[in-house]
Amino acid sequence: MKAAVGNKKSKGSFCAFCHPSLLLLIVAIQFLMIYSPTLDQYMVMLTTDEFIPEPHLRCDFSDNKSDVCEMEGAISILGRELEVFLVAPRLASISGRSGVNTTGLDANATRWKIQPYTNKGESRVMPAITEVTLRLVTVDEAPPCDEWHDVPVIVYSNGGYCSN
């Protein structure tokens, strides 16, 4: 008796990536999950007080090379005006809040200007570096957002020396 040899597929084996229509369905479901209307509702809800995180601002102006500020929380950036807003909840008292302003400067300050450059000792270059204004504001004072991103941002100047 001869043994049967063949290329029989076993029942129950299934490859989703082998079937283009099923692959298209999976991609469509992922698209709907990512870009669903509920996502837009969530983004709108971020403007209400209960979704505004506690703001934190840490600045170090003492370094000889550069001034560095680190902000955590809801942040809005107006690029053309060179302003960065750290947004506090509506009911928050901004001035004198412990933990918000840890700049080492005036505890009641709500506005700072920095020149985002890597070598603030360069007297020939610094006049060409545009200042960026950092502001601590309530949600009512913050500019409206038309784009949302959930990634870190670095603000720096591309003026000064090139090809170093």
Q: Parallel, antiparallel, or unpaired for β 111-114 and 132-138?
A: antiparallel
Inside any domain, residue 3: no
Decide if pLDDT at 24 tops 60: no
Inside any domain, residue 149: no
**Distance between CA atoms of residues 84 and 59, nearest Å:** 14
Strand-pairing partners, residue 68, are 60
Q: What pLDDT, on a 0 to 100 scale, did the predictor assign at position 116?
A: 80
Of 138 and 96, the one with more pLDDT: 138
Residue 93's domain comprises: 49-138
pLDDT band at 163 (very low <50, low <70, confident <90, very high): very low
62 & 116 share domain = yes
58 & 131 share domain = yes
140 in helix, strand or coil?
A: coil
Inside any domain, residue 70: yes
56 & 38 share domain = no
pLDDT digits (tens, 9 = 90+) for 33-70: 555 555 444 444 444 545 777 788 888 888 888 888 88
Closest by CA to 59, choosing from 117, 100, 94, is 100
pLDDT digits (tens, 9 = 90+) for 89-106: 765 555 544 445 555 555
Question: What's the domain count of the chain?
Answer: 2
How would you classify residue 53: left for phi > 0, otherwise alpha for psi between -120 and 50, otherwise beta?
beta
132 in helix, strand or coil?
A: strand
**Six token digits for residue 103:** 């700049």
Decide if pLDDT at 154 tops 70: yes
pLDDT band at 112 (very low <50, low <70, confident <90, very high): confident
Strand-pairing partners, residue 72, are 56
